[in-house]
Amino acid sequence: MRASWSSPWLFILAATGSAVGLGNIWRFPYVTGENGGGAFVLLYLFFVFFMGLPILFSEILIGKRAQKNPINAMKSAALESGAGQYWKFIGAIGVLAGCLILSFYSVIAGWCLAYVYDYVTVANLVTSFEEADEKLDYLTNSPIKLITWHTLFMLVTVVIVARGLKRGFELATKYLMPVLFATLLLLVGHAVIVGDFSSSISYLFEPDFSRLTSKTILLAMGQAFFSLSIGMGAIMAYGSYLPTGISVGKCALSIAIADTSVALLAGLAIFPIVFAYGLEPAQGPGLVFVTLNVGFSEMANGRFFGLVFFLLLTIAAWTSSISLIEPGIAWLSEVSEMSRKRASVFLGLTIWLVGLGSVFSFNLWSEFKFIGMNIFEIIEFVSTSLILPFGGMMLVLFVGWFMKRNIVVSELNLKTDSTFTSIFFILMKFLAPLGVLIVLIENSGIRKLVF
Ligand code: TRP
């Protein structure tokens, strides 16, 4: 018998754990900072609820219906509705994308681990922006250091998934998610007290539409997809352990709301400090690793709060990384002779090896570029800017056009011919896939080639 979640709440919590990760706490604040704040946030919210949510529905629906790993789930969902079995390739590229994303995700998560270690052991915190910058350089210039932390991060991920649903990721979810929420609230509370809260609120929520460009729109959509963990079957894999009789709609909505709240709260934990110490919000990827560090070193009890912050990032990354590797492991252990343990070790090792490419992109191989990108950037671009939107688009197209309408209607508890249902299907059939297609064409540079 296939295992299932002990309660629907645990599924929602685990899927939220997948969604909440480096994307929310590291990437969302710096991308928002670089793109002018409020207007970007507004766009992001639009994409989460109008494009992301339909894909989230689709993934949970297919997984739950099929009770199989994403590749076989796509196949059996397609066959059940009389569509071709080739839909399984959408599952397959999803599994591949998960492995690719994890290969660099683990390297960046390794930085967080390195910072945790640093806050515990170092004698003096950094005192200036230059010093903080040097510190990050010192870490990224050392392949040995990066490999050590990348290895440790992957090791823990593999141990958790190898133990399976109940003793592995359900258990991790139960313990890690409450810690994650508690530390986040602690940090927001602290930032509100010591930081410049009102500037942060106006920065995040007062839109300045003059800052919007087509690039911002693409970024906001990519960020929404990455943050919700959609497009590659991660949530489908989690959904496949759902028992029957659970409302897919409510689950998807709860996950989207929780993920978005955490992204906004992360902004409220970071920007008050950035503004209070006169730091620059538009600092790019270095926002938490460099800028925020300067803030921590200037505040009272900065060592403690810095430590808590990077611990939060690490935990968020772990609950996400599990979901990136789970589709591959579920597939390997369900279709081959390999046990779950073996499959975890084998896939973990492979991903670890690919991750070395990202490690060396920061040092030994930094000069090695292909169409202007190093290995890390290529892997990130292909997986998150190309495969995720493509996968997401195919998933809504599948549910909108190919899945039997009565299956969708009954799984989502919709009324057969209400206005809401009609609007829902218009969204699934036309608006969501078309929106994603536009982004995909822009992202892949196809438009530049053609026009
Ligand atoms: N959503 C996670 C984050 O915000 C990353 C992630 C985990 C992910 N699983 C995924 C992204 C699946 C895309 C697809 O950091």
To which residue do tokens 């809401």 refer?
A: 420
Cα–ligand 1 centroid distance for 409 (angstroms): 28
Q: What is the DSSP string of 103-122?
A: HHHHHHHHHHHHHHHHHHH-
To which residue do tokens 């892997």 refer?
A: 379
Among protein residues, the one with the nearest Cα to ligand 1's atom 11 is: 229
Cα–ligand 1 centroid distance for 131 (angstroms): 31
- Tens-digit pLDDT profile for residues 423-444: 999 999 999 999 889 878 876 7
How much is the pLDDT for 447?
59
Residue 271 near residue 84, CB atoms below 8 Å: no
How much is the pLDDT for 109?
97
How much is the pLDDT for 222?
83
Rg of the Cα atoms in the chain? 21
Cα–ligand 1 centroid distance for 24 (angstroms): 9
How much is the pLDDT for 102?
98
Among protein residues, the one with the nearest Cα to ligand 1's atom 14 is: 229
180 CB-near residues (< 8 Å, 6+ apart): 17, 20, 312, 315, 316, 319
Cα–ligand 1 centroid distance for 328 (angstroms): 15
Probe target for ligand 1 pocket from 32, 58, 229, with the most ligand atoms within 8 Å of CB: 229
Q: How confident is the model at residue 131 (pLDDT cuts 50, 70, 90)?
A: very high
How much is the pLDDT for 439?
78
Cα–ligand 1 centroid distance for 95 (angstroms): 13
| pLDDT for residue 8 is more than 60 | yes
CA nearest to 107, candidates 142, 155, 154: 154
Residue 4 near residue 242, CB atoms below 8 Å: yes
23-37: b or e for each residue (b if 16 or more CB lie within 10 Å)?
bbbbbbbbbbbbbbb
Q: How confident is the model at residue 371 (pLDDT cuts 50, 70, 90)?
A: confident
- Tens-digit pLDDT profile for residues 94-122: 999 999 999 999 999 999 999 999 999 98
Cα–ligand 1 centroid distance for 450 (angstroms): 31
| pLDDT for residue 313 is more than 80 | yes
Nearest atom of ligand 1 to the alpha carbon of 323: 9
Cα–ligand 1 centroid distance for 130 (angstroms): 31
Instruction: Pick the most confident of 211-215, 346-350, 364-368, 416-420.
Output: 346-350
Average pLDDT value for the chain:
92
Cα–ligand 1 centroid distance for 18 (angstroms): 6
Strands (E), 75-169: none
Would you mind telling me the total number of residues written for the chain in this entry? 451
* 3-class secondary-structure state, position 42: helix
How much is the pLDDT for 281?
87
Nearest atom of ligand 1 to the alpha carbon of 321: 7
Q: How confident is the model at residue 199 (pLDDT cuts 50, 70, 90)?
A: very high
Rounded percentage of the chain residues whose pLDDT exceeds 90: 73
Q: How many CB atoms lie within 10 A of CB 55?
A: 29
| pLDDT for residue 183 is more than 70 | yes
105 CB-near residues (< 8 Å, 6+ apart): 21, 22, 317, 320, 321, 324
> In whole angstroms, how far apart are CA 309 and each of 23, 130, 158?
15, 21, 24
Q: Between 123 and 88, whose confidence is greater? A: 88
Cα–ligand 1 centroid distance for 235 (angstroms): 10
CA nearest to 332, candidates 170, 158, 107: 158
Among protein residues, the one with the nearest Cα to ligand 1's atom 10 is: 229
Helices (H), 299-374: 302-335, 340-361
How much is the pLDDT for 56?
95
Probe target for ligand 1 pocket from 48, 320, 382, 390, with the most ligand atoms within 8 Å of CB: 320
Q: How many CB atoms lie within 10 A of CB 223?
A: 24
How much is the pLDDT for 283?
81
- For residue 256 the two structure tokens come to 């989207």
Cα–ligand 1 centroid distance for 226 (angstroms): 5
- Pocket of ligand 1 from Cβ distances under 6 Å: 18-19, 21-24, 101, 226-227, 229, 231-232, 234, 320, 323-324, 388
Sign of the torsion angle spanned by Cα atoms 260, 263, 269, 274 = negative
Nearest atom of ligand 1 to the alpha carbon of 232: 14
Among protein residues, the one with the nearest Cα to ligand 1's atom 13 is: 229
Nearest atom of ligand 1 to the alpha carbon of 19: 1
| pLDDT for residue 450 is more than 60 | no
